[in-house]
Structure 1
Amino acid sequence: MSPSPDLSSRILPRVLIVSRRTVRKNKFVDFVGEYHLDLVVGYGAVPVIVPRVAGVHAMLDSFEPIHGVLLCEGEDIDPSLYDAGGDDGDGDALSQEQLEAVRRLHPSDAALDHEKDSIELLLARRCLERNVPFLGICRGSQVLNVACGGSLYQDVEHELHPAADDAVCHMDYANYDGHRHPVRVLPGTPLYDWFAESLLDGDQLMVNSYHHPPQGVRRLAERFVPMAHAPDGLIEGFYDPEAYNPGEGKFIMGLQFHPERMRKEGSDEFDFPGCAKAYQEFVRAVVAYQGKLGRHASAPPERGHHAAQTEPGNGEAAQR
């Protein structure tokens, strides 16, 4: 996606995206998937990559102004940060033996990244406190839920017990990009509006699934409303209806699946017209939020005068 030609004439809003790590040539490197970057740029915002390295959690004020936050895929969230045993009477925390089995099956995702956890939870809470637009994809949706007091399944296969007919394969390594499973989209939600023309009977939508079976939303935080469920009952999308009005700079949402990667085989064409809408509406909210900050910000000092400049972040505080 190419940015609009008129974007170079104005200061664009900033969307923070925390990197994830991988190993290349026996060294850790940080990266962000290009699909995320392409969509953010294409809809008119500047992606600012926040490295998930030691010390960055104490530097977040230096990334101001923050007009939006996009959190996406990565390793499992540390279970000590949420109620791993669940508070619904439906099972206990996994045993050490079960955890080791999970890590053997999914070594690249089941490892913990404490720096990424710390940075992303701080950013999510900052967004929630200030109503900064937030989009969480995959792990990012789980971070959002944990930040609001929700909990996660450590291992869906062990802790979620659907009937045989409702079992869902949430990861297919043999068909990594092509794997799809159905979700039921709930009417009256943004997700339903975006995909209304593509829904099958029963309001079903075929989505991809890259989260390995361990983690998923268990208890949804009270402020959120589900937008979609998999047949096994797992929540695949949720949002805050009190903080959803993109035209007014309001957008707080989490999606477990990856709409940015729902592409036809061998092509960059999306599976459905609605696949890019989460990013389009998120950036629309980011642009509107930047405009709100501008209306609240102090006028810059005139040339030749030594007026004090506004501290970063004062605009956000003013509109709370």
Structure 2
Amino acid sequence: MHQPSQARPIIGVIGNRYLRANTSSTIIAGAVSTYVGAIEAAGGIPLLIYLTDDQQVLDRLYGLCAGLVFTGGEDVDPMHFGAERHPNIGTVVPLRDAVELALARRALADRKPMLGICRGIQVLNVAFGGSLYQDIPAELPAASDHYASRAQPERAHAAHPIALERDSWLAERLGADTVDVNSYHHQSLKDIAPGLRVTGRSPDGVIEAVEGTGAAFILGLQCHPEELWDTAEPRWAAMFRGFVEVARGAEGRRDRA
């Protein structure tokens, strides 16, 4: 049973812009429903932060949120970590980069909890001063196929295990130091930003999880747990509940300050 509505923290889910099916110009602002469902089931109230360059709108939406979720999607423009574009880089969305990088830095300063998923872990690393491998097959040729789940009919397809640091928040929440995950990425973390530590890797050494080392709660995941928590791997539900609990606690401390 959920907590009473006044105790349920608002969690900002940063959305994207999608082309409506069977049209060439109609754009939908939204977020994939599995992110929203995972936060709601975990006891939070998801709030869409849509992409806009209106700073007043972003300020108001940000101010309502006890925590932020950075979702999956396109590649981060390598200009943001001082690199030239690799020939195999995918689509970049300048507005999304601008919105997310700014919100991540603001949340770090405000100690607002953050959860980054797939692209989200990469955004957080870049926002705080890290860099990325722009194309795993080209730059890490010995690595396994990290897009393996894309070829499967179910997005919950378990592509490989990840090993977690036993003293990590994530291992404690999952109650395990290894877990099988799905995999949908061709980029990964390279140089780790100050204030982050690696807490999970795939068997080939690719970074799969990071956590913050400072006062702000930060969790970054390269897999897509929003596709796993309800049936394929229920232990991920504990991760989402834990994030919502952290956000609730952080909001309560700010209210008392």
**In structure 1, distance between residues paired with 2:246 and 2:167:** 19
Report what 1:7 is aligned to.
4
What's 1:318 paired with? none
Matched, 1:207 2:181: yes
Residue 121 in structure 1 maps to residue 106 in structure 2? no
Q: Taking structure 1 as reference, are residues 117 and 58 closer, same or farther at Cα in structure 2, changes over 3 Å only?
A: farther
Equivalent residue in structure 1 for 2:246, among 285, 303, 310: 285
**CA–CA distance in structure 2, aligned partners of residues 174 and 79 of structure 1:** 27
Letter in 2 for 1:72: T
Conserved? CA contact 1:22–1:29, under 8 Å: yes
Coordinate RMSD, CA, aligned: 2.1
Instruction: Confirm whether residue 136 of structure 1 aligns to residue 116 of structure 2.
Output: yes
Against the structure 1 CA distance between its residues 152 and 292, is the aligned structure 2 distance closer, same or farther, given a 3 Å change threshold?
A: same
Contact 1:137 1:258 in 2 (8 A): yes
Question: Which is greater in Rg?
Answer: 1
1:88-127 paired onto structure 2 within 5 Å: 94=86, 99=87, 102=88, 110-127=90-107
Could you tell me whether the CA contact under 8 Å between 1:15 and 1:45 is conserved in 2? yes
**1:22 aligned onto 2:18:** yes
Alpha-carbon deviation of 1:58? Answer: 5.5
SS at match of 1:22: strand
Query: Which of 252, 264, 270 lines up with 2:232 in the alignment?
Result: 270
Q: Give the secondary structure class of the aligned counterpart of 1:220.
A: coil
- Paired with 1:218 and 1:61, the residues of 2 have a C-alpha distance of 31
Normalization by structure 2: what TM-score? 0.89
Q: CA 1:292 to 1:196, structure 2 compared with 1: closer, same or farther past 3 Å?
A: closer
Give the one of 44, 54, 57 matched to 1:56: 54
- Give SS of 1:59's match: helix
Aligned to 1:190: 169
Residue in 2 that maps onto 1:89: none
Deviations 1:79-123 (A, max 9, x none): 1111336xxxxxxx63xxxx2xx36xxxxxx21111111110111
* 8 Å CA contact retained: 2:42, 2:237: no
Given that 2:173 and 2:242 are in contact with CA atoms closer than 8 Å, whether structure 1 keeps it comes out as no
Among residues 207, 210, 222, which one is paired with 1:256 in the alignment?
Answer: 222
Aligned to 1:231: 203
Contact 1:18 1:116 in 2 (8 A): no
Work out whether residues 36 and 260 of structure 1, in 8 Å CA contact, stay in contact via their aligned partners in 2: yes
Q: Does 1:41 align with 2:18?
A: no
The correspondence for 1:174, drawn from 126, 137, 151, is 151
Distance 1:269 1:204 in 2: 18
1:67 maps onto 2:66 in alignment:
yes
CA shift for structure 1 position 179: 4.4
How far did residue 77 of structure 1 move?
0.6
Question: Where in structure 1 are there 5+ consecutive unaligned residues?
Answer: 86-92, 104-109, 198-202, 244-249, 297-320
Please point out which of 124, 130, 138 is paired with 1:158. Answer: 138
Counterpart of 1:17, as a letter, is V
TM-score normalised over the length of structure 1: 0.72
SS in 2 for 1:226: strand
